[in-house]
Homo-oligomer: A and B are copies of this chain.
C-alpha cells in the first residue's frame, strides 16, 4: 500500500514509531529536528532505528523520547524457519544492545495481554516459551554459572480479569524481586495491515497508556516501576476505523485533481469524517479490529520467534539445547 497522505489527514492511530515517522516524512520530505532515522537492510530483514531525541518532537510524534528499533520481515509468518531463525538472531542482537551489561543482573520479562483473546495473547505466549532460570541459580553447575543470566517472568493478566491494573501488579512484583531491567512483551495495533505479524518494534521507552491491543490505562515505564523497561511489540491488528479512514483517503486522493470535488472535501472536517466512519462501522466500531483469518497460527509462529530471540539474548554464550536439558 502506497501511502499518499492527504493534507488534512490526522496523525495515524498506530503503536509503531516507524509509521508515524513515515507519515511525517510523506507529508514533508525535509528532515525533522529531533527525529533521527537510520535504516539497515540485512538478508531478508530490514532494521530501522528511529530516535526521538527532543521533548518537542516527542509531542509531535505522539511517542515519548527514546529509541525505537523496528525489525521488518515480510515473510515472518510463512513457516520459513530459516528466516524466523534470522529474525530471532537479529532481535537478540538489537536487544543485547539495550540490555544492562552485567550477566548476573536479574531480568523480569512480562507478557502483557489476555491469554484467552487471540490477537492479545502474544505476550503471555512468549513468556510460556522462555528459559526461566532465576530459581535455579543455586543448582546450576559451576560450568554454566556466569553464562546463565537469572531470568524470571510473569503474565499478569488483564484488568477485566484481575480487577488490578497490570502496572500495579508489576510494581508489586518488581519491589519484591528487584530486577535490573524489565522487558515487556505486548501485542500492538498498526496503521498498515501489511505490518500485521511482519514487524517487531523494540524500544527503551516502556509501554505507555492507551497503547497495545488491550488499551491499558496506566503506563509500564521506568517512571512507574523504578527500573528500566524495554518494550517488545508486534502488531496483531489494525483498528477497523483506521482501515475505513484509509479508504476515505484513497478515494479523496484519487479525485483531488478535480477542482469542484476539492471544494466539497474542504467542507469535510475531521468530525465529519469520524461521523462517516461511524455510520459505516456501527456504534461498536471502537472495538472492531482487522486481523488475518489465520491469526491463531500466526500468533503461534511469532511468539516462537520472539521467545527464541529473548532466549538467545538473555543466555548468550550458551546453547539452547543445553539449557533445555538442564531445565527438564
Chain B residue numbers with a CB within 8 Å of A294 are 117, 287
Known A-B contacts A247-B244, A294-B287; the reply to A79 vs B153 at CB < 8 A is no
What residues make up the interface of A, taking CB atoms closer than 8 Å to B?
Answer: 1-2, 78-82, 116-120, 127-128, 132-136, 150-157, 159-165, 168-169, 171-177, 192-194, 213, 237, 240, 243-244, 246-251, 254-255, 258, 260-261, 264, 276-277, 279-285, 287-297, 321, 324-325, 327-328
**Stoichiometry, copies per complex:** 4
Besides A120-B293, A260-B260, 7 other A-B contacts (C-beta < 8 A): A1-B279, A132-B160, A134-B163, A154-B162, A172-B172, A192-B282, A255-B261
Q: How far is the CB of A79 from chain B (nearest CB, A)?
A: 4
- Considering the complex, give the chain B residue whose CB is closest to the CB of A285: B193
**Contact at A164–B173, with CB atoms within 8 Å?**
yes
Q: List 24 A-B contacts (CB under 8 A).
A: A78-B328, A117-B293, A117-B296, A118-B295, A132-B160, A135-B159, A155-B157, A168-B173, A169-B173, A172-B175, A175-B175, A192-B282, A193-B288, A194-B283, A237-B293, A247-B277, A249-B280, A255-B261, A255-B264, A258-B260, A260-B260, A287-B292, A287-B294, A289-B290
